[in-house]
């Protein structure tokens, strides 16, 4: 199979996107951005459709009871990837959103594939449906696992990074988060409900 040509990374988002913004704002702003993973199989890209914010004083957050071996990356500076293992079989991807020692992050919950969808389907054991419409499904589709925990997507040579999307209208809904037992009442989930492509 032919390899993709080298990406010049001209669209890679820089630190200013995450710096000095609160986690809720970042969770909203991540909607419509493009997640990129340059794998050996090819460059995978998708539009972020759904996010959830997890704050420091938030009982649903892994960071709520302080730093542990499992969650230590969540206490690193903004831009690091916090990937955790759960239910004995799944990985979930977060982007750390605050400065050193403040454990806050945004969980990526859903992505729409836009490049090399066929590779994602292969990564998903050939299932062409529901490729990346869940936090663990998108990790499987994008070949993201515990090996990626702690890498910084803002570093110049990371294989995982963000690009600006082409979403013009960025309407979203805000609801309670999914699958948690504490902090259920907090409306920290954000989901795109309408998108429109920019004219080139």
Residue 162 in the binding site for DNA (CB under 7 A): no
CA distance 158 to 155: 6
Q: Which of 18, 105, 120, 154 binds DNA (CB under 7 A)?
A: 105
Shortest distance, CB of residue 169 to DNA, whole angstroms? Answer: 26
- 6 or 69, CB closer to DNA? 69
> Is residue 130 within 8 Å of residue 111, measured between CB atoms?
no
Q: Which of 2, 69, 198, 199 binds DNA (CB under 7 A)?
A: 69
CA distance 102 to 5: 39
Stretch that binds DNA, among 3-11, 38-46, 129-137, 161-169 (CB under 7 A): 129-137
Shortest distance, CB of residue 95 to DNA, whole angstroms? Answer: 10
Contacts of 93 (CB under 8 A, 6+ apart): 81, 82, 83, 107, 108, 135, 138, 139, 142, 144, 148
Residue closest to 157 by CA, chosen among 3, 17, 6, 42: 6
Q: Which of 3, 6, 89, 200 binds DNA (CB under 7 A)?
A: 89
Q: How many residues are there in the chain?
A: 200
Shortest distance, CB of residue 69 to DNA, whole angstroms? Answer: 4
Shortest distance, CB of residue 149 to DNA, whole angstroms? Answer: 9
Stretch that binds DNA, among 28-36, 53-61, 115-123, 161-169 (CB under 7 A): 53-61
Shortest distance, CB of residue 1 to DNA, whole angstroms? Answer: 25
Q: Which of 5, 156, 181, 198 binds DNA (CB under 7 A)?
A: 181
Shortest distance, CB of residue 194 to DNA, whole angstroms? Answer: 23
Structure-token match 């913004």, residue found: 21
> Is residue 55 within 8 Å of residue 104, measured between CB atoms?
yes
Which helix (H) or strand (E) element contains residue 27? helix 23-29
Residue 70 in the binding site for DNA (CB under 7 A): yes
Residue 101 in the binding site for DNA (CB under 7 A): no
Residue 71 in the binding site for DNA (CB under 7 A): yes
> Is residue 105 within 8 Å of residue 54, measured between CB atoms?
yes
């Amino acid at each position: 199979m032919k390899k993709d040509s080298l990406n010049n990374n001209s669209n890679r988002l820089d630190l200013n996107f995450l710096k000095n913004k609160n986690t809720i704002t970042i969770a909203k702003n991540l909607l419509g951005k493009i997640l990129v993973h340059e794998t050996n199989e090819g460059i995978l890209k998708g539009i972020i459709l759904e996010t959830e914010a997890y704050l420091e004083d938030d009982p649903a957050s892994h960071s709520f009871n302080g730093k542990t071996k499992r969650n230590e990356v969540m206490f690193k500076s903004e831009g690091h990837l916090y990937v955790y293992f759960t239910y004995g079989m799944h990985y979930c991807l977060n982007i750390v959103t605050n400065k050193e020692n403040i454990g806050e992050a945004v969980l990526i919950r859903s992505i729409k594939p836009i490049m090399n969808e066929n590779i994602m389907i292969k990564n998903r054991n050939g299932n062409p449906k529901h490729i990346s419409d869940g936090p663990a499904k998108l990790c499987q589709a994008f070949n993201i696992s515990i090996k990626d925990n702690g890498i910084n997507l803002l570093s110049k040579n990371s294989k995982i990074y963000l690009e600006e999307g082409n979403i013009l209208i960025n309407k979203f809904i805000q609801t309670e988060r999914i699958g948690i037992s504490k902090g259920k009442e907090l409306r920290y989930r954000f989901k795109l409900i309408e998108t429109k492509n920019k004219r080139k």
